Amino acid sequence: MSLSHGAHAHATPPTIAARPSIRTWPEINNPAAWIVATLLLIMPLIANGFFLIEIFATTLILGIVALSLMFLAGYGGMVSLMQLTIAGFAGYMYAIFGTSASANISLGWPWWLATPMALALATIFGTLGGALAVRTAGIYTIMITLAIAAAFFYFTNQNWPLFNGHTGINTIATPHFWGVDWRADIPFYYVVLAVAALCYFAIEYLSRAPFGLALQGVRDNPRRMAALGFNVNAHRVAAYAFASFVAALGGILQVWNYRQIAPGSVSVGAAIDILIIAVVGGITRPIGPFIGAFIFVILRTFALDFLVRIGLDGNRFRLLIGLGFLAIVFWSSDGVIGLWERWKRSRSASVGTSRRHGHG
Amino acid sequence: MTRFIERHPAWALIGILAVAILLWLIFAVWPPGLEEAIGRKKVFLNAVFNGITLGGLYFLVASGFTLIFGLMRNVNLAHGSLYLFGGYVGYIISSSTGSWILGFIVAFTIVALVGILLQIVVFRRMEGQDLRQTMVTIGLSIVFADLMLWAFGGDFYQIQTPSWLIGPVEIPLVTAVRSSGEAIYLQYPLVRIVIFLASIVIGVGMWLALNRTRIGMIIRAGVDDRDILAATGVRIQLVFVLVFALGAGLAGIAGVVGGTFSSLSPGEDTRFLLASLVVVIVGGMGSIPGAALGALIIGLAEQLGSVYIPTYAIVVTFLIMVLVLALRPQGLLARR
């Protein structure tokens, strides 16, 4: 687990710097966090429908799914490639239990029944997958979760009675209540923002709660934790369960956003995109996945125009993503956050301030 | 073998029974009742043969994967890309020169060179950092996939089977008996049999090379303890490069085989990456006999599944993996 370890070693400040903020939320004293929060809240006033949904809501949804991976990889040391599969599973379950154009498949439950059902089933699915993955440790996790993701993709592709094969399920109904169409641009944006904020703060809180601290202990030294009386595997499976729930929330929002789901949504490439988002953003802190998702969505949306403008083939978007990912993995073990912090440190060093920089 | 029977008599009995039933199904003339229940014997035999030959192909892909993993602890998730690249190289060579065999040789050489390049330029720089290496292979697989899509487009390519291998051969296995009492024998494509035999030869050759030669001894020692081997004065980096070249080259050969068996298109890289992952997880990481056993099991499961339960076929493969992980997490034939 060298990547998360190495990153962790320099991202966790000595206790002196972290002590004052350990009991409160670290965001409270950070003016940048307040600015970002305000901007996100008044975004509908600034951005039009396209930017609001295609950029910001999509970023937040991908960020939620990547956040679940960040939680597992950053705090648990388990790089799971099946987080998107869990999200897709939740989406499929919502489509199957809810209402859609495929009347022979969908059961037509109302959204307030279909959503908890989908969340519960996806959490169970992810927990079982996690229980399988913790049978082996370290590098094997990536292989097993990748195998689960790929198997689910091929399964949705070849199964017609449940998953409607490669056409998938279309025109999925979205919630309408209190006289509001919750899929209209502005209400949907706020729903996504609220869920994203909830997940973000839940993980922030959990990382400092006894469970999160024990999980980080398990990541750093499973044998010592076992000797101290902690049940190592139970902690890992519990981490998978929680991460599955977060990923499932993202999956539900995803299916509300596109109103359709198909094997393409759970393809291996898409599952790897989530890893890319988390790693590019940085897997040591919960804000990383959102930064990564923002970069990814911006690239995906504008790379075509940009590539054509500089005289290249516009279809080479994935090449750009792959090369960017390689560059990040080569030069910064902590993604964009790591680069930013290194830059900040080198600047403060050149200014000559003797004050120690904490990064909490 | 005898130790296994002594230690797990129940499992051994189940295994022997399963093998006996399979052999009976293959060799016996099916009674009419059975044919009504599960379909014609010809379908079953074809599925079994397809499964075994597909297992041969999976073995070619997975053996390189497991060899690289066993020695270098490098989970090469770009292995599927090497497979597809080898297939495209084989297609270009065999369609331009008309020689199928030359396609194999060139594909092996070029893909092995790519492997050498990867090991020297990329992986040597991050030795011992498993996770980072894996991330890099993921990035490389994305880059390779897009470059190949750029160069070859989304079309399907099929490598032409040479004329001396075209056509079916008769296998002395009775599929049915005519009302006149005359037996009908199974017809099976010659090329698949030849390729299967070739993959057995390669497998046995690899086993011999690993167990009977000096370089094989060094590689086995490296799998067990890399650091001590390096301390005894073996130039370990040279061994790494050699093994990576061999593993990549095998993936290249498998690409040509796969291009002849079915076809080459974007997405095949993922398919064969999944196959090698599952084969290696089932058989045991780093074990060549394990890869052979896993490939056979997965190939058979996939083909029989797609014939008898078409929309749930992948689930069978997956359940096998789950079962192995639950009962023997290190894989069937892993030593640890």
Task: Give the pLDDT confidence of A206-253 residue by residue, as tens digits.
Answer: 888 888 888 888 888 888 888 888 888 888 899 999 999 999 999 999
Cβ burial, residue B17 (10 Å; 0-12/13-18/19+): exposed
* Least Cα separation, residue A82 to chain B (angstroms): 13
The per-residue pLDDT of chain A, averaged, comes to 80
Across the interface, of A143, A313, A323, the residue whose CB is closest to B281 is A143
Cβ burial, residue B207 (10 Å; 0-12/13-18/19+): middle
Does residue B332 sit at the A interface (CB-CB below 8 Å)? no
Compare B260 and A100 and report the one with higher pLDDT: B260
pLDDT of residue B304: 87
Assess whether pLDDT exceeds 60 at residue A359: no
Interface subset of B 58-97, CB within 8 angstroms of A: 73, 75, 77
* Least Cα separation, residue A326 to chain B (angstroms): 5
Cβ distance of B129 and A132 shorter than 8 Å? no
Cβ burial, residue B234 (10 Å; 0-12/13-18/19+): middle
Across the interface, of B131, B145, B326, the residue whose CB is closest to A3 is B131
- Give the residue from chain A lying closest to B315, CA to CA: A155
Task: Give the pLDDT confidence of A164-218 residue by residue, as tens digits.
Answer: 877 778 777 777 778 777 777 778 888 888 899 899 989 988 888 888 888 888 8
Report the percent of chain B where pLDDT is more than 70.
Answer: 97
* Least Cα separation, residue A349 to chain B (angstroms): 28
The per-residue pLDDT of chain B, averaged, comes to 84
Assess whether pLDDT exceeds 70 at residue A354: no
Compare A123 and B328 and report the one with higher pLDDT: A123
Assess whether pLDDT exceeds 60 at residue B14: yes
Cβ distance of A319 and B325 shorter than 8 Å? no
SS3 content of chain B, % helix, strand, coil (to 5): 75, 5, 20
Task: Give the pLDDT confidence of A288-325 residue by residue, as tens digits.
Answer: 888 889 888 888 888 777 777 777 766 777 888 888 88
Report the percent of chain A where pLDDT is more than 90.
Answer: 12
pLDDT, average across residues A67-80 = 88
Assess whether pLDDT exceeds 50 at residue A5: no
Assess whether pLDDT exceeds 90 at residue A134: no
Does residue B130 sit at the A interface (CB-CB below 8 Å)? yes
Gyration radius of chain A's alpha carbons: 21
Assess whether pLDDT exceeds 50 at residue A13: no
Assess whether pLDDT exceeds 80 at residue B102: yes
CA nearest neighbour of A328 among A283, A271, A358, A262 = A283
Q: Is the ipTM of this complex over 0.90?
A: no
CA distance B2 to A59: 59
CA distance A26 to B57: 55
Probe site for chain B from A1, A3, A277, A284 (most B CB atoms < 10 A): A3
pLDDT of residue A352: 55
Range in A221-225, A263-267, B129-133 with the lowest mean pLDDT = B129-133
The reported pTM is 0.82
